[in-house]
DNA sequence: TCTGAAGTTTAAGAAATGTAAAGGCCAGTG
DNA sequence: CACTGGCCTTTACATTTCTTAAACTTCAGA
């Protein structure tokens, strides 16, 4: 498993990323200051560093420079919007990529994978949760092609709907929390008046149809989350 | 130790690369003009050449052409932003790889290693490098000849279309970001209203045709990029 | 039973992506 | 040197997908 270090003073963002990266099977650690981060890179054995250019005490570029003085570990920089200058500088100093804020966790994950791919460091050839196929009752999903069928006929789900279903079915029989689901599927936490996930749930349920007795395949656990009933 | 010659008029870039390549245990020399570079290739015993297409006196392509008239030394071309034509021409003239600017030094190193790896394999097995051919389901591509076939019949892709397909297939099963794809394939970042990539995607999909059940081989991940489905 | 919080639903709006057709560029050709 | 054909880009509109808005329903606890 790849171990990733996040150096960013924004604790909230760090938590968010940690959660999301965890769901993508990455191990993560965080440092909220340049000096601390640098120390951790020196001592720890990380596979990749995510580094914010805007750091309170020590500039991100300096941190990168310091890192490069003793290590060739891949670094992805997080830059503020339109920070062209920093970007060029970052690349010249040896960052592997950069990502302008704001970005979605999905984008970041795509970059991380791209970096590992470029480096030929593809450990991703090992276990591939991607290639999973799941079947519960008459519903069948295949992650590799991102399709879902009921009795063999395509359900024509959108990406988000498929993603919800995939997450729920993988955890069939146990409750998946709302916030966790939103994070994985929409790439963000839900504010209290964000009804987006509810709408997707509604649409998904309609497409899935009911099981016998008009019972729903997806059960709502009020105040917690959702549960896919195991047949 | 491998000895690399860098032919580029940008002295700053040369220094940067030299430093970086040194840290990767490569010996380097530089030439800031086409004629000088050509002479050095002729006299020196280099293992690989990094060649900028944009050179003051003598065009990089001409330099490549001249080199090829007497040597089969591996050449990696550095192409300027959006220099599609030059790139294609470069490949046709026998460059081993190309890298659109701006690129990170790490990326260049990855390419260099890839080239050496390919050559190593080729010598060992006396066969064309495997990594340049990819086959997924009934689609087969060969980078060396820039051809793609479905069930043996030529798909007649344009260079951009082929390049998109190549990139997606190399990353089959994982998402390739729109921006990354645009950068590699078109040599530029997409502005908000640049629909060029979409059009190419559309054309490519039409030529590729659908897999069973009208399912697309290339899946759109809204807001992130594209995914070639691994069957 | 009343009430507020949580969840659902439908519809409208916004954003991203798809695609046909026209436009422009450039190399090859007569 | 105009002509032609291939290819990429732009334009303009269509379509799909996600989000927001707002009204409605359900549920738990007072």
Instruction: Please give the pLDDT value at position B227.
Output: 95
Protein-covered nucleotides of chain C (CB closer than 7 Å) are 6-11, 16-21, 26-27
- Asked whether residue A46 carries a pLDDT value surpassing 90, the answer given is yes
Closest Cα in chain A, distance from residue B42 (Å): 31
Give dist(CA B227, CA A40) in Å, integer: 35
Cα separations in angstroms, A202 against A143, A164, A199, A216, B30 = 21, 11, 5, 11, 63
Give dist(CA A216, CA A205) in Å, integer: 8
* A93, A119, A145 - which closes a domain: A119
Strand locations in A152-224 (E): 153-154, 175-177, 218-221
Most confident region among B8-12, B159-163, B185-189 by mean pLDDT: B159-163
Span CA (B198) to C1' (C19), Å: 9
pTM: 0.78
Mean pLDDT of B193-211: 95
Residue linked to tokens 């006299």:
B43
Statement: the CB of A202 is under 7 Å from strand C: yes
DSSP conformational letter for B157: -
Mean pLDDT of B120-131: 44
Chain A residues whose C-beta is within 8 A of a chain B C-beta are 72, 74, 88, 91-92, 94-97, 104, 106-107, 110-111, 113-114, 117-120, 124, 128, 130-131, 144-147, 154, 159
The reply to whether A83 and A134 lie within a common domain is: no
The reply to whether A138 and A64 lie within a common domain is: no
Instruction: Please give the pLDDT value at position B201.
Output: 98
Most confident region among A52-61, A90-99, B104-113, B117-126 by mean pLDDT: A52-61
Statement: the CB of A125 is under 7 Å from strand C: no
- Asked whether residue A134 carries a pLDDT value surpassing 90, the answer given is yes
Statement: the CB of B133 is under 7 Å from strand C: no
The reply to whether A132 and A57 lie within a common domain is: no
Nearest in space to A14 (alpha carbons), one of A5, A6, A23:
A6
Q: What is the mean pLDDT of chain A?
A: 87
Domain of residue A108, CATH code? 3.40.50.2300
Cα separations in angstroms, B184 against A1, A83, B8, B80 = 28, 21, 21, 12
Does the CA dihedral B16-B19-B23-B26 come out positive or negative?
positive
- Asked whether residue A194 carries a pLDDT value surpassing 70, the answer given is yes
The reply to whether B115 and B160 lie within a common domain is: no
The reply to whether A130 and A162 lie within a common domain is: yes
Q: What is the mean pLDDT of chain B?
A: 82
Instruction: Please give the pLDDT value at position B230.
Output: 85
Does the CA dihedral A75-B119-B32-B88 come out positive or negative?
negative
Most confident region among A51-60, A165-174, B58-67 by mean pLDDT: A165-174
Q: Which residue's alpha carbon is at the shortest distance from the C1' of D16? A: A158
A144 with B231: Cβ contact below 8 A: yes
The reply to whether A95 and A130 lie within a common domain is: no
Does the CA dihedral B1-A119-B167-A97 come out positive or negative?
negative
Span CA (B78) to C1' (D3), Å: 35
Which tokens go with A169? 């079915």
Statement: the CB of A179 is under 7 Å from strand C: no
Q: Pick the more confident residue, B126 or B62.
A: B62
Q: Residues of A with CB below 8 A from B221's CB?
A: 106, 159
Which tokens go with B36? 């000088």
Q: What is the largest CA-CA distance in chain B?
A: 60
The reply to whether A51 and A92 lie within a common domain is: yes
Closest Cα in chain A, distance from residue B222 (Å): 8
Give dist(CA A123, CA A119) in Å, integer: 11
The reply to whether A108 and A194 lie within a common domain is: no
- Asked whether residue A65 carries a pLDDT value surpassing 60, the answer given is yes
Residue linked to tokens 């591996």:
B74
- Asked whether residue A229 carries a pLDDT value surpassing 70, the answer given is yes
- Asked whether residue B11 carries a pLDDT value surpassing 80, the answer given is yes
A128 with B221: Cβ contact below 8 A: no
Instruction: Please give the pLDDT value at position B111.
Output: 79
Q: Residues of B with CB below 8 A from A162's CB?
A: none
Span CA (B160) to C1' (D7), Å: 9
A110 with B170: Cβ contact below 8 A: no
Q: Give the residue from chain B lying closest to A121, CA to CA.
A: B110
* A69, A101, A119 - which closes a domain: A119
Which tokens go with B165? 């397909």
Instruction: Please give the pLDDT value at position A130.
Output: 47
- Lowest mean pLDDT segment, chosen from A20-29, A39-48, A93-102: A93-102
Q: Assess whether the previous peptide bond of A68 is cis (omega < 30° from 0).
A: no
Give dist(CA B49, CA B93) in Å, integer: 14
The reply to whether A17 and A86 lie within a common domain is: yes
Taking the mean position of all CA atoms in its chain, how far away is CA B113? 13
Mean pLDDT of B194-210: 96
Instruction: Please give the pLDDT value at position B70.
Output: 82
Instruction: Please give the pLDDT value at position B24.
Output: 79
Give dist(CA A105, CA A86) in Å, integer: 22
The reply to whether B194 and B139 lie within a common domain is: yes
* A96, A119, A142 - which closes a domain: A119
Give dist(CA B38, CA B68) in Å, integer: 10
- Asked whether residue A122 carries a pLDDT value surpassing 60, the answer given is no
The reply to whether A12 and A113 lie within a common domain is: yes
The reply to whether A22 and A42 lie within a common domain is: yes
pLDDT over 90, % of chain B: 32
Closest Cα in chain A, distance from residue B39 (Å): 29
Domain of residue B156, CATH code? 1.10.10.10
Q: Residues of B with CB below 8 A from A120's CB?
A: 110, 113-114
Instruction: Please give the pLDDT value at position A49.
Output: 96
Q: Which residues on neighbouring strands pair with residue A220, listed in sequence order? A: A226
- Asked whether residue B25 carries a pLDDT value surpassing 90, the answer given is no
The CB density around residue B71, as the number of other CB atoms within 10 Å, is: 13
pLDDT band at B130 (very low <50, low <70, confident <90, very high): very low
Instruction: Please give the pLDDT value at position A53.
Output: 86
Q: What is the pLDDT of residues B70-104, one digit of tens each?
A: 888 888 888 765 544 455 555 556 667 777 666 76
Instruction: Please give the pLDDT value at position B85.
Output: 47
SS3 of B129, please?
Answer: coil
Question: How many interface pairs between A and B have CB atoms less than 8 angstroms apart?
Answer: 77
Instruction: Please give the pLDDT value at position A33.
Output: 92
Tell me the residue length of chain A: 231
Mean pLDDT of B36-60: 84
- Asked whether residue B204 carries a pLDDT value surpassing 80, the answer given is yes
Give dist(CA A155, CA B204) in Å, integer: 25
- How many domains does the structure of chain B reveal? 2
Which tokens go with A20? 């999301």
Span CA (B158) to C1' (D14), Å: 26
Put the strands of the sheet holding A175-177 in their side by side order.
A175-177, A225-228, A218-221
pLDDT over 90, % of chain A: 56
Range of the domain at A147: 126-228
Task: Please answer whether residues A49 and A4 qualify as being in contact, where contact means their C-beta atoms are separated by less than 8 angstroms.
Answer: yes
């Amino acid at each position: 498993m790849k171990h990733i270090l996040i150096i960013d003073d924004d604790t909230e963002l760090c938590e968010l990323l940690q959660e999301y990266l965890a769901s993508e099977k990455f191990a993560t650690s965080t440092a909220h200051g340049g000096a601390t981060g640098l120390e951790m890179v020196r001592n720890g054995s990380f596979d990749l560093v995510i580094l914010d250019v805007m750091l309170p005490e020590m500039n991100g570029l300096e941190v990168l420079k310091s890192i490069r003085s003793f290590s060739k570990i891949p670094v992805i920089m997080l830059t503020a919007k339109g920070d062209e200058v920093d970007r060029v500088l970052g690349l010249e100093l040896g960052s592997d990529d950069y990502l302008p804020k704001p970005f979605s966790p999905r984008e970041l994950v795509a970059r991380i994978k791209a970096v590992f791919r470029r480096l030929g460091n593809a450990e991703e050839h090992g276990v591939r949760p991607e290639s999973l196929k799941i079947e519960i009752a008459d519903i069948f999903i295949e992650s590799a092609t991102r399709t879902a069928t009921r009795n063999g006929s395509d359900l024509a789900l959108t990406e988000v709907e498929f993603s919800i279903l995939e997450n729920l079915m993988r955890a069939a029989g146990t409750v998946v929390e709302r916030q966790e689901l939103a994070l994985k599927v929409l790439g963000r936490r839900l504010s209290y008046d964000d009804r987006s996930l509810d709408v997707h749930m509604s649409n998904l349920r309609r497409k899935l149809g009911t099981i016998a007795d008009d019972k729903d395949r997806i059960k709502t656990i009020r105040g917690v989350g959702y549960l896919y009933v195991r047949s």
